[in-house]
Each structure stands twice: as C-alpha cells, then as structure tokens.
Amino acid sequence: MGTSLLADYTLNMYKDDMKQYKAAEKRAKLLSIPTPVEAIFRGQMTEKPKGKARSRKNDYQNKFSKDYGFAFLVPEGNFSQEFGVRTYETLKKHLNKSNITHITYNTFYRNDRKTRQNLRWLNAMCVEIDVKGQENTDNAGLLLPDVLDRVSVAGLPYPTTILQSPSGGFHLLWVYKTPFRATRKAVKVYGRIQRCIAEAIGGDLDAIGAEHYFRAPNPDNVVYEGHSVHSSSLTDWYALECERKFAERGEQFKGAVNFSTYNGALMQSKAFRDVQNGGFDDMRDRVSFSLACAYKIAGMTQREARVRLLSWNENNKKKMSQRELLGKVKSVYRSENRYVSYSFIRKAAEYLTGEAYPEKIYWNSRFAKPRSERVRSHFSEHEQDIVDYLKENEALIGSQRSIAATLKKPFSTFCKVLKNMILKGLLMVETKKGRGGFTLITLASDDSSPTKTPADDLRSSESHLNASEQTTKQFNTIRSKKAAESFCGQINVLLSNNSGKGVGGQALVGTVPTATLSSSLDGTRYVSPTISSPGRAPVPGNVPGRFSSALFNRGFTDGRFIFAAWGRVQLAFKQFNIAFSSIAVVQDYMNLVIEAISLTVGEKGSPTVGGYSGQDSFLKYLFGTVKGLLSNYRASEITEFVLDIGKVSEIKLLCLRQKYLDELRENDCHDIEKIKEFLEEIELEISARVRKKSSGKLGLFKRFSSHFKHDF
C-alpha cells in the first residue's frame, strides 16, 4: 500500500514537472527568434559561388578577404572526409541533404587546415554534454528539463539553441549577437570560459576549444530555441565564477607551494599511483606523456623513465608500440620542463578505477624566474624602478611619452603603473595640458616626517633671507655688469619642452602701487582667488627650504602652489640639461631662482604685495624669467671664460682642458653643456695659438730668404 502511494506521488510530481517544462518550452518558442545559419555566420560568407566569368583578381580578393571565413562540415560522422565551405548556397545545399552530422560554428580563414591558429571569427559558445562512457554516469538518463535546470542553477543565460545527439547527449549553443575576431588572446579566454561552463553544467571537458566540431542543426535534433546573447554576459558570469572559486579556496590558494613541491605531492597522491600501475585501454597517449614529464621533473634519468614506462605499457589492456612510447620519452627529455596537470591525472584515475579522488593539490603555475631571464616584468618591479630613479634624480619632467622613453618602458605599461602609484599615494604628479603642456613626477613626501607650521616657515625663511641677502646683492651686481656687455636684459623664452612653441614673458622689474603697499602695511591682506589659506597643503619635502621660504614670505602658503612653482623652475633648468639635484646644491643657481621670484612678484604681484594676476600667469612668467636669467648667466660665464683663457699659459691651458675632460668622463659636473662649450673655447684658443706660431715662423723665413736673395 505504501509502495503504491509513493509511486503515485512520484508520478504526479513528474507530471507537474513536465507541465512546467512544456509551459516554459512553449513560452521560449513564442519569444524565440529563429536562428538560421545566416544569423550565426552573418557577413562571413557570400551568397553563392562566383561564376567562371569573374576575373581571377576578384576571385583572389574574395577568397582571401579579411572578413570571410570557412565553416567545416563532416558528412555522416566521417571526420576524415571533412571539407570547408564559404558560401551560404553551398552550406544550405549540404545541410538540406541531412547527411551532415557535425559543423564548426566558429569560422577559419583557410579551408585546408582546421586548427586553432587558423581561426578568424568566434560566433558562438558551444558546450557538449555527453551521456556515454563510464566517466559520464552522472549524465545518464539526462533530459532537456534537467539541462535547463543546470543552466539556471549555474547562473548562466539560457542558450540560443540546444541540439540533441542520437546517443542522448546535448549540444548547447550561445550564439553571440556580435561576433568578434579570433585573436590569440580571445581564443584563450574563449577556452577558459568554455571549460568553466562545462564544469558548471557537467559538460565534456575533452570537447574544449573554439576549433572543435559540434552537432549540425536539422529539424529533428533541435529541441530548444532561445535568444542570442551578448558575449559580455558570459564573460561577466565567468568573472563572478572565478571570484567564487578563489573565495572558496581561501588561504589554501594563497599558500601555494613551488612546482618541485607540487610535483612531489602529485607523485605521492593515490591518483598518480593508480595511473602508474597501468591497465588502460584508452587515453594512453596523453597519460604516457604526463608520466614522462613527471619522471623528468622528479630528477629521474631518461633510462629510468624508459624502464618505468615500458613496465607501465606492459600492464595496459591495449599496448602502445614501443617505438612510439620511447619517442615520447625522448621528446620530453629533449625539451624544457613541462607541467603535469593533476586534474588530468585524477580524471585518468577515475576513468581507470571508477573511484572518486577527493584529494586536492594547490600549486603555482610556473617557476619564479629571475627578472633577467624574463621578457616582461611585474607591475611591482616597474614601480620600484620608478622609485629608484626618482630617488637618484629627484624628479621627472616632460611629456609622458618622453618620460616612458627615459625609463625605457612601454608607454601603455608606464601609464598603468603611473595610475597605480598615484592611487597608492607613492607619487605626486602635476599635469599641464594644452600647448606647452608637460607632466611633473616626484616622490610623495614622507608622512612620518613632521610638517613645518606656517610660523616655523616664516622664522626659517627670515633667517634664510637675512643670511643670503648680502651674497645675493653682490652676485647680482657682478652678473648684471657681465650681462650688459653680452646680452640685452630682455627675456623672452619658450614655455614648452614638448612642442617648441609657447608663450614667454618679459622679466622686467615692476613697481609696487602705493595704494597696495599702504593697504598691506595697514594689515589688510590680499587673498588669492586660487589659494585659500584654510585648505592649504603642506610643502613637499623635495622643495628646498630657501625656495619655499621666498614664496611663503610673499603670501604663497599653499604647498601645492609651491610644488607647481618648483616644477616650473626644474623645467626651465631642464632646457639647459642641468640636473635637478644641482639646483639646490649650486649657490649661484639658487640665487638665480630667488631673483626670478622677486622679478615675477614685481611684475605679476603676490597675495601680500597685491596686484596678483592668478596662478597660471604667475607660473608662466616665473618659468620664462628663470630661463632668461639662466641663459644670461651662462652667456656671461662663457664670455668671462674666453677672456680668462686668453691670459693663461699653454701648460695651464692644457691642464685646464684635461680637468674638464675628466669631469665629463666621470660625470662630475653640474652643467654638462657649459663644460662642453668651455672645451670648445679651449680648442679654439689652442688652434689660434698654433696658427699664430706658424705664421710667425713663416714671416721669419721670408725675411731670411729675401736677405739671401739680395746677397746672391
């Protein structure tokens, strides 16, 4: 009685499930869009073959067009008779004959070789669910509702088409709304997504690859039709699935061992020992190859591996030829180390014994090679390179492409690394767009170091100015006299270091308006519209204290403005190929910079003096002023040097030349271009003295010859 009630209950549940399935199937057919072959291959095929009257040139262009692709067909399951088609007329003709059993839904650019390397278009994601064989016992008796239920539980979108094979298996097709090119990377990602889908719904893991055959559609085997899908829906699902798997692994995956440890654990596993005992009637080719790789990594000699594999082959139900087996061993030992997949070893053991192997082995997929042996570097290594360079050279200025070329890094990689370092707070970057634009990169200031308060900065700036006021005046008087002899006082320079075009400014000493001065003396302070004292930032650590004090005393208290101004100064010195580290070291250079600040404030104003014209105008004028003063300073030094070398002896002149050559060779100079010009002037002076000596000897010879001529 109880048995009959249970049977009735089970039968009613089955009927309810079938009703729900039929309703879902009916709704799917009502909403479905027919998927003919034209909807899969789109414009990758022509309508019909070209006639013989067409020119050979047109045939060549059509045959090898970059948009056309060949689909391969298999008649009556005979894969040795495969052939490629590239026209819809030929494709439909063969499909209507009902003798085509398999087809490639992804197309190739050659019709004579169906390989992964020859793929041209990826049109559909295809997964096969096999019900035959000992390894597919979970799929025995699988029905269409079960397949749809697996798809729904996995979180996948419903397939576009489901085909049923004669053996009872299913072929699921997700046809892309927009096909995409089968690049090398796209094919790899396609295979990963395909494998992940197959694992999620119990598919055949041997039918993985964009180049594989799948069942061809016909009126008898199409059991479900749905909508086409966006490729992004599958990639998004794959990303979520990967995150879920990594979360499940947790600390086990983070604590991955190296490959030698992994290989030792693999060879000690029960699955590997069972596979090593033999007894195969199938899968012998790949199993023998995997065993040979494991023996090689374990440190066995080629002779030991041959003995073990020959013994394994004797235990198999169907033996491999000895020549083929020894050839595999020789191939493995002749090539570099290969990696044995534990998932395949476990699958082979399950196929052999029919048992489950729950043990897991986690490993990192490759050896950690040293950087010198690798073609590419990790982002962390690129970041460390930039940090090391900035520690040595203080800053990087120029266009982003020129900076990437200086660091000898690909431009795209440099941009990604720069973005990551900015997000981590490792760098301070200032970018100026438009004409005269540039990028300034420096290391971020250390947060652990105490930041000076405005009062401390004021006190330190006063001491700096008092100490250097006398030397500055003395230096300016000497240099102004020299500049008056060589160049005019007008300064008009280029702003950009990228394009060669820019706007300059005249560095003219301005007068302070009386009203502004009186207002500042009364205590009222002009507040800059671009710099607000409540939200000011601290001064970066790479800016010299004397420079920041000079700006701070004139009302520029925001660290961001001081950092930008120091960047303009560095940019001006870069025009003369002077190292950034030399600016703060050489007293003359700092005097130049302080004088440039005074001239710029006199022309463009400041928050304390008044008449402030804005940040952009101030910084542009500061750049032009520094560059002009530096140009005049270098010209005056060269002029003075030319006058000095004319008064020294030849021995001192040669010693001076050797001294400058040593400085260039050892890179022990602040201004390389100036030293080169000094050497040129020395060479000119030496040449002039040699010519003078030779002309003197020639005149003496002429006088003697004329004397002897009169005597004889």
Is it the case that residue 106 has pLDDT exceeding 80?
yes
Instruction: Kindly report the backbone phi and psi dihedral angles of residue 47, in degrees, each rounded to the nearest multiple of 5, phi listed first.
Output: -70, -45
CA–CA separation, 646 and 653 (whole Å): 9
Task: Assign 122 to helix, strand or coil.
Answer: strand
Q: Which of 228, 299, 289, 222 is nearest to 260 (CA)?
A: 299
Is residue 428 within a helix (H) or strand (E), and if so which, with residue range? strand 427-432
CATH 3.30.56.130 fits 375-443, yes or no: yes
pLDDT digits (tens, 9 = 90+) for 466-480: 444 444 444 444 444
Q: For residue 87, give the DSSP letter.
A: B
Max avg pLDDT among 33-42, 160-169, 511-520, 573-582: 160-169
pLDDT digits (tens, 9 = 90+) for 415-440: 999 999 998 888 888 887 776 678 88
% of the chain at pLDDT higher than 70? 71
pLDDT of residue 702: 56
% of the chain at pLDDT higher than 90? 12
Lowest mean per-residue pLDDT among 20-34, 80-94, 298-312, 516-530: 516-530
CA–CA separation, 89 and 501 (whole Å): 62
CA distances (Å), 104 to each of 69, 74, 123, 216, 630, in order? 11, 9, 10, 8, 71
pLDDT of residue 29: 41
pLDDT of residue 653: 78
Mean pLDDT of all residues in 185-202:
92
β-strand 438-443 against 395-398: which pairing, if any? antiparallel
Mean pLDDT of all residues in 200-225:
89
pLDDT digits (tens, 9 = 90+) for 22-65: 554 444 443 333 456 777 887 788 887 766 545 455 554 555 56
Per-residue tokens: 248: 């499940």
pLDDT digits (tens, 9 = 90+) for 109-129: 888 888 888 899 999 999 999
Task: Assign 399 to helix, strand or coil.
Answer: coil
Domain edges within the chain: 1-31, 33-247, 253-353, 375-443, 478-645, 650-696
pLDDT of residue 646: 78
CA–CA separation, 674 and 587 (whole Å): 17
Is it the case that residue 697 has pLDDT exceeding 80?
no
Q: At what angle do helices 559-574 and 587-604 cross, to 10 degrees?
A: 120
pLDDT of residue 549: 83
Cα end-to-end span (Å), the chain: 160
Q: At what angle do helices 615-645 and 559-574 cross, to 10 degrees?
A: 40
pLDDT of residue 105: 92
pLDDT of residue 247: 66
pLDDT of residue 125: 93
pLDDT of residue 18: 56
Is it the case that residue 340 has pLDDT exceeding 60?
yes
The region, left, alpha or beta by phi > 0 then psi within -120 to 50, assigned to residue 168 is: left
Per-residue tokens: 8: 């009735």
Per-residue tokens: 358: 């729950």
Lowest mean per-residue pLDDT among 367-381, 382-396, 401-415, 454-468: 454-468
Mean pLDDT of all residues in 136-162:
87
Is it the case that residue 525 has pLDDT exceeding 70?
no
Contacts of 568 (CB under 8 A, 6+ apart): 619, 620, 622, 623, 626
The DSSP-derived string for 558-604 is: -HHHHHHHHHHHHHHHHTTTB-THHHHH-HHHHHHHHHHHHHHHHHH
- Better-predicted residue by pLDDT, 539 or 281: 281
pLDDT, the chain, mean: 75
Sign of CA dihedral 676, 678, 684, 687: negative
pLDDT of residue 537: 64
Q: For residue 621, give the DSSP letter.
A: H
pLDDT-derived band at 704 (thresholds 50, 70, 90) equals low
Lowest mean per-residue pLDDT among 204-208, 457-461, 650-654: 457-461
